[in-house]
Amino acid sequence: MSLTNTTEVQESETSGKLDAVSTRTGSKWQETMNLIVVLFKLRVVFLLLLAATGGAFLAAGGWPGLGTLLLLWLTGGMAAAGSSSFNQYWERHSDGAMRRTRKRPLVNGDIKNPKWVPVVSVLLIFIPVLVVLPFNPAMAFFLLLGAFIYTIIYTIWLKPRTLLNIVIGGAAGSAAVLTGSAAIGQWNETGALILALILFLWTPFHFWSLALLYRDDYSRSDVPMLPVNTTPHRAAWWVMAHTLPTCIFGVLMVALPALGWIYFAPVLLVSFMLFWRNVQLIRDPSASHARALFMASNYYLTVLLLAIYAGTVAQSLLV
């Protein structure tokens, strides 16, 4: 074999080894990122930050300022992530009984020693509160209130004891909105208070539609969930009891001076879609309609919040 051929073979072997190492490294990185996303429920955190941003836009009557938003996203994201990881640590045993949650890292063994999780959770909650407290006590209060509602009131106290656990637990989303308005210095701004009410009403039907979809899963767990403890048809009416006022308050927000037709048109359309999905669920409380309503609830909240951003900015430019 010539020197040239030998060198080519060695380079090929080295390249193959590097590719294998790169693949393993890339796979390990992806696994770590996926573990972080799941453990800290970053998708839920993202929705909470969208809601908090809506509160900031309403309180500011337009663009809140990049510095304010960055502070809100950092502190709100940390507190929400800490609350979420604590929730998973507390529920790690019951999560193993459900198909939907049994692949979480505290259940499937991806995290071998979970003792560090509650420590990190507490730090993620209290560090942003203590940082914000000296210059914005109201914002610090709502950061802590949201975490307290989700971890203590919902996760530890209500969830294992009452069918209406998520009704009170929905107040954590309301606290996120008021954290956003408090970041502007006007936590009790009218629009922010209405948006907080909408989040309070939205959370139960969003979660109940998911529970209807995974009704068999919840029946195997020790968590008293409303759709499991009543008929699917009655559960669909319970969902409507929250869907309808959510849609009404969302549409009526157009009366606020900070919003206008740019807000009204998309919210009216998405409200009709959400209401119609609930009507279909009442007619036929099947898994397919429960899934459709669950997805519609996500679309509704996203469109509502984006319309708030666009509406407040547009109105501020017209003044």
What mean pLDDT is predicted for residues 3-10?
40
What digits encode the pLDDT tens for the residues 173-198? 999 999 999 999 999 999 999 999 99
Classify residue 153 by its DSSP letter.
I
What digits encode the pLDDT tens for the residues 199-234? 999 999 999 999 999 888 888 877 888 998 999 999
What pLDDT sits at residue 102? 87
What digits encode the pLDDT tens for the residues 98-131? 888 888 999 998 998 999 999 999 999 999 999 9
CA–CA–CA angle 154, 162, 234 (5° rounding): 115
Label residue 115 exposed, middle or buried (CB < 10 Å: 0-12, 13-18, 19+). exposed
Q: DSSP 3-state helix, strand, coil percentages of the chain (rounded to 5)?
A: 80, 0, 20
What pLDDT sits at residue 5? 45
What is the CB neighbour count within 10 angstroms for residue 307? 23
Distance between CA atoms of 154 and 165, rounded to whole angstroms?
Answer: 6
Distance between CA atoms of 71 and 75, rounded to whole angstroms?
Answer: 6
> What single letter denotes the amino acid at residue 267?
V
Percent of the chain with pLDDT over 70: 92
Length reported for the chain: 319
pTM of the model: 0.89
Radius of gyration of the CA atoms of the chain, in A: 23
What digits encode the pLDDT tens for the residues 50-94? 999 999 999 999 999 999 999 999 999 999 999 999 999 999 988
Distance between CA atoms of 230 and 227, rounded to whole angstroms?
Answer: 6
Q: Which helix (H) or strand (E) holds 255?
A: none
Nearest to 68 by CA among 188, 144, 180: 180
Number of helices (H) and strands (E), helices first, in the chain?
14, 0
